[in-house]
Amino acid sequence: MLLFNEKNEQLDVASLKKEILANLKNVKTPQKEEIEKELGAYYNNALAIDMKSYHPEITAVKAFSGQTEISFLGLGGILEKIRRFICKILTGSSTEGDIIDAILQAIASIIPGGIILKGIIEKIAKYIISMGVGAFCKI
């Protein structure tokens, strides 16, 4: 799995996973709405970074439909897409490491450019762990 940070530098996935696992106890359990809002902003930022890697001359990225700007802020569909992806992988006996692996795989396939922000991964993992895989996936 090829993942990048917000500076478009390749990440060492094993080291990233180890950092996230070590920091989980320090992460405050977020609310679903908070995660959805952050995922919307995250998607926008990742899209801008990814576009800039293909077109360095671009200084601002806007998606247009006619004359209307499209915003991904607060887009709840991203968390749902992550849920559908990871719930095919996780079981009721999945460990914290399994959950983080599944989230990283989901983010790599959903977020443009495979750009990873450690903070949002920690929040998603904390949210799932606090609720339980069974409840999150409705197993």
Render pLDDT for 44-73 as a digit per residue (tens, 0 to 9): 888 877 777 777 665 555 543 343 344 454
Structure tokens belonging to residue 4: 């990048």
Q: Does residue 21 contact residue 96 with C-beta atoms inside 8 Å?
A: yes
Distance CA(29)–CA(91), nearest Å, equals 21
Distance CA(73)–CA(129), nearest Å, equals 24
**Sequence letter at residue 104:** L
Q: Categorize the per-residue pLDDT at 133 as very low, low, confident or very high, splitting at 50, 70 and 90.
A: very high
- In whole angstroms, what separates CA 116 from the centre of its chain? 7
The DSSP code sequence of 64-132 is EETTEEE--TT-THHHHHHHHHHTTT--TT--HHHHHHHHHHHHHHHSGGGB--HHHHHHHHHHHHHH-
Q: What is the mean pLDDT of residues 105-134?
A: 91
Q: What is the mean pLDDT of residues 16-20?
A: 95
Distance CA(49)–CA(94), nearest Å, equals 33
